[in-house]
Amino acid sequence: MIDRDDETPPLHPIHVEHIPNLSWVPASIELLPDGWVNVRIYSYDRILDRELYTTDTCPAILHLESNITERMLQYADEDGELFHPEYGEPYDSKPVLLGIDVADPPHKWHHHLGPDWKPAYRDGGYLESCPREMVREVLVRHGFADAIEKPEGWRDPDDEAGGD
């Protein structure tokens, strides 16, 4: 449990179903047509007063499955939340495993991939993947309507001046 007694709301135990992180296995790869990209926020340019974005190739979607569901007894706040809203830490760092069930049908998940065939979100700043002609819509949807594409050869002015 987090060690912030004065900020921790009253907690109570609840039953939770959980999919263990290490139980996900590849199920298939869906190749995407040419023109799919991963959209990323790259940086903020204080001189241009704009967020900068980049895109890179999104060749495929990796589909994953898990056949395991864990049943846990875990502490939660009065709203049933398992994580402290300000700190992002779980209220209960040592939940009790009550049992393991076979998931039928299996749980499903997917990751869009980057040009290196690793999950696109791993390189930071990732918003989502889309056909190239929808990049502007993605930026607007994520609150970056004024973002501009990172200019070729762009260098952070703060790095050049040694920072503030």
Predicted confidence (pLDDT) per residue in 35-78, tens digit = 999 999 999 998 889 999 999 999 999 999 999 999 999 999 99
3 falls within a domain? no
Collect all residues with Cβ–Cβ distance below 8 Å to 8 and sequence separation of at least 6. Answer: 1, 2, 84, 91
Q: Answer whether residue 157 is part of any domain.
A: no
pLDDT band at 163; cut points 50, 70, 90: very low
Tally of domains within the chain? 1
Residue 160 lies in a domain: no
Residue 5: predicted pLDDT:
54
Question: Is residue 160 predicted with pLDDT exceeding 70?
Answer: no
- Domain assignment present for residue 100? The answer is yes
In a domain? residue 71: yes
162 part of a folded domain: no
Q: Which domain holds residue 120?
A: 12-152
Q: How does residue 161 score in pLDDT terms, banded at 50, 70 and 90?
A: low
- Residue 130 forms part of a structural domain: yes
The per-residue pLDDT for 6 is 60
% residues pLDDT > 70 (the chain): 93
Average pLDDT over residues 138-160: 89
Q: What pLDDT is attached to residue 159?
A: 73
* 85 vs 129: which has the higher pLDDT: 129
* pLDDT (0 to 100) of residue 86: 84
Average pLDDT, the chain: 90
Residue 74 within a domain: yes
- Contacts of 96-101 with C-beta under 8 Å, sequence gap 24+, read 96/72, 97/70, 97/71, 97/72, 98/15, 98/71, 98/72, 98/73, 99/70, 99/71, 100/68, 100/69, 100/70, 100/71, 101/68, 101/69, 101/70, 101/71
